[in-house]
């Protein structure tokens, strides 16, 4: 029994001496796996510690470079936007610019820069504005959409040319609708002017919405028909489903209004009446 106790004691002592070395000897790949698991579990602190271990213990390993990207992503989730931007930019200085992670890093910088600007920190917005001249069409479009949320005319007007091209030549209806919505945020006249030739009768048609409570009008809205078409096309699926539950087909509601010339009324459970018609 005594020999066994002595053996156990020696084993524990050796383990205590050599355990730190065993931890340090973890491969870069093992550390990256652990970091990604921590990110998946949203254990941001653990992930950050492990990612920085990859960089300090395996500086020449490709995983160390990859860990910079994920470090920036973790910093984003921790709310450290400025540090995240700097980390993304350091990562971009070391990787091929056409790699998938490089494209994601540039997109994140654009979004973070805009977020900081809207929060009052204006010093990073040049990253978003500069992306308007990128050779990457997707990045140009992302930057333009992001700028459409900014209320400073000196800033958001820079996005108009990119959005107008996307509205006319976008590769998909989804992109064209997103561009139209961004132009609508900037100035509805921009969208309407490009939708129909000057003097077009169709271009002058207007969708009217009125909300009545107990017979009294409490709200009204007029939209150029071209804008209404775009908005209905861009409705999210849950909104379209709500309309269907009310007996309305969102795909042909405007056509029905335009061809029949009728007023559509929908009555809600709390005695509100919604009226739609076209003039």
pLDDT in tens, 80-107: 999 999 999 999 999 998 899 999 999 9
In a domain, 231, yes or no: yes
In a domain, 221, yes or no: yes
Predicted confidence (pLDDT) per residue in 118-160, tens digit: 999 999 999 999 999 999 999 999 999 999 999 899 999 999 9
| C-alpha 265 chain-centroid distance | 35
pLDDT at 168 over 80: yes
pLDDT at 21 over 80: no
pLDDT at 252 over 70: yes
In a domain, 144, yes or no: no
- Across 95-230, where does the E strand assignment appear? 206-213, 216-224
Structurally, the chain folds into a number of domains equal to 1
* Average pLDDT over every residue of 243-253: 75
In a domain, 52, yes or no: no
Range of 262's domain?
A: 202-278
Percent of the chain at pLDDT exceeding 90 = 48
Provide the pLDDT for residue 1: 45
Residue 200: count of CB within 10 angstroms of its CB: 11
Q: Per DSSP, what are the bridge partners of residue 272?
A: 213
Provide the pLDDT for residue 132: 97
Q: Per DSSP, what are the bridge partners of residue 44?
A: none
Percent of the chain at pLDDT exceeding 70 = 82
How large is the greatest C-alpha to C-alpha distance in the chain, in angstroms?
Answer: 104
DSSP class of 265: E
Query: What is the three-state SS of 71-121?
Result: HHHHHHHCCCHHHHHHHHHHHHCCCCCCCHHHHHHHHHHHHHHHHHHHCCC
Residues 139, 140, 142, 147, CA torsion sign: positive
In a domain, 155, yes or no: no
Kindly report the backbone phi and psi dihedral angles of residue 223, in degrees, each rounded to the nearest multiple of 5, phi listed first.
-130, 135
Query: What is the Cα–Cα distance from 37 to 40, expressed in whole angstroms?
Result: 5
* Average pLDDT over every residue of 59-73: 94
Q: Of residues 117 and 224, which shows the higher confidence score?
A: 117
In a domain, 224, yes or no: yes
In a domain, 251, yes or no: yes
Provide the pLDDT for residue 264: 77
In a domain, 1, yes or no: no
Provide the pLDDT for residue 140: 97
Closest by CA position to 195, among listed 173, 237, 167: 167
Range in 145-154, 207-216, 238-247 the model is least confident about: 238-247
């Amino acid at each position: 029994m005594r020999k066994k106790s002595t053996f156990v004691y020696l084993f524990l002592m050796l383990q205590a001496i050599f355990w730190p070395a065993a931890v340090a000897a973890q491969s870069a790949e093992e550390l990256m796996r652990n970091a990604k698991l921590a990110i998946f579990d949203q254990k941001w602190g653990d992930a950050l510690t492990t990612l920085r271990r990859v960089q300090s213990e395996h500086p020449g390993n490709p995983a160390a470079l990859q860990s910079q990207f994920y470090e920036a992503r973790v910093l984003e989730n921790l709310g450290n936007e400025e540090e995240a931007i700097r980390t993304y930019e350091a990562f971009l200085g070391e990787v091929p610019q056409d790699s998938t992670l490089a494209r994601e890093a540039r997109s994140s910088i654009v979004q973070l820069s805009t977020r900081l600007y809207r929060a009052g920190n204006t010093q990073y917005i040049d990253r978003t504005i500069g992306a308007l001249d990128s050779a990457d069409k997707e990045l140009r479009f992302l930057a333009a959409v992001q700028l459409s949320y900014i209320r400073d005319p000196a800033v958001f007007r820079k996005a108009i040319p990119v959005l107008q091209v996307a509205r006319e030549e976008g590769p998909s209806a989804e992109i064209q609708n997103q561009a139209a919505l961004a132009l609508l945020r900037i100035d509805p006249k921009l969208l309407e002017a490009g939708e129909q030739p000057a003097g077009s009768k169709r271009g002058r048609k207007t969708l009217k919405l009125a909300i009545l409570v107990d017979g009294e009008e409490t709200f009204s809205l007029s939209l150029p028909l071209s804008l209404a078409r775009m908005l209905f096309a861009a409705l999210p699926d849950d909104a379209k489903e709500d309309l269907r539950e009310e007996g309305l087909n969102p795909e042909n509601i405007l056509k029905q209004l335009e061809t029949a010339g009728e007023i559509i009324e929908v009555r809600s459970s709390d005695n509100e009446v919604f009226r739609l018609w076209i003039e």
